[in-house]
Amino acid sequence: MEGEVLLRLSYTLDTIADAAKQFWQQLHGHRVFAFSGEMGAGKTTFIHYLCDYLQVQDAVSSPTFALINEYHFTDAGKDRTIYHLDWYRLRDTTEAINAGMEDCIITANTTPAICLIEWPEKAMELLPRQYLWISIGPISPSEREMTVKLVRTA
C-alpha cells in the first residue's frame, strides 16, 4: 500500500499495551483504521489492547460472526463510538454495503466515531478518501511488526 509512513512499532504480548498507547497518542486524530495481516497476525489482539487503553467497558471480541461490533469510550468527557468491523466473510463490496459497512464508515467521517476494520482488502472501494493502512506481520512467533501508513486517494 502506497502512503506516508506515520509509525512503525514492534512488540510482543509483554509490550503490546504500551504499543497500543503509543499508537493512540500518535494517531487519535484519524477515523478509519484498516488492519491488514494474515490470519493470526494479531489484528484482533491489537484492537483488544487498544480498546483496553481507551477504557472500553463493552466486551471486545472478534466480530467474525457478527461482522460489526460496537463499543464505546469516553474522550474528553464525551462518548465516542468504535465500530470494530471484520470483512473476512464478505465476498465483495455489494455484500459489505448490504451488511451496513458503508454506513459505519460514513458515520466515522461525519461524527466522532471511529472504524477499526479487519480484512479491509475484501471491500477496498468502501474505504474513504483518507484512511490509515496498518499492516501487521510476524517477526518471530511472539513478536509482531506494525507499519502505519496514511493513504490518500484522489
Ligand X SMILES: Nc1ncnc2c1ncn2[C@@H]1O[C@H](COP(=O)(O)OP(=O)(O)OP(=O)(O)O)[C@@H](O)[C@H]1O
* Interaction site with ligand X (CB under 6 A): 11-13, 16, 37, 39-45, 62, 118, 142-144
Each residue 112-151 as x (binds Mg ion by CB under 5 A) or -, in order, gives ------x---------------------------------
**Position of cell 464525551?**
78
User: For residues 37-56, which are near Mg ion according to CB under 5 A?
Assistant: 43-44
Closest CA to 152 of 34, 2, 24, 29: 2
H helices of the chain, where?
16-27, 43-53, 93-98, 101-110
- Binding footprint of Mg ion, residue count (CB under 5 A): 4
Nearer to ligand X, 54 or 120 (CB): 120
Nearer to ligand X, 111 or 142 (CB): 142
CA distance 70 to 136: 23
Query: Least distance from C-beta 89 to ligand X, angstroms?
Result: 10
Nearer to ligand X, 20 or 108 (CB): 20
Q: Are 136 and 35 in contact (CB under 8 A)?
A: yes
Query: Least distance from C-beta 109 to Mg ion, angstroms?
Result: 24
Q: Are 8 and 19 in contact (CB under 8 A)?
A: no
By a kind-dependent CB cut-off of 5 to 8 A, residue 61 interacts, out of ligand X, Mg ion, none, with none
User: For residues 58-87, which are near Mg ion according to CB under 5 A?
Assistant: 62
- Order the strands of the 114-118 sheet from edge to edge: 4-11, 144-152, 130-138, 32-36, 114-118, 78-86, 68-75
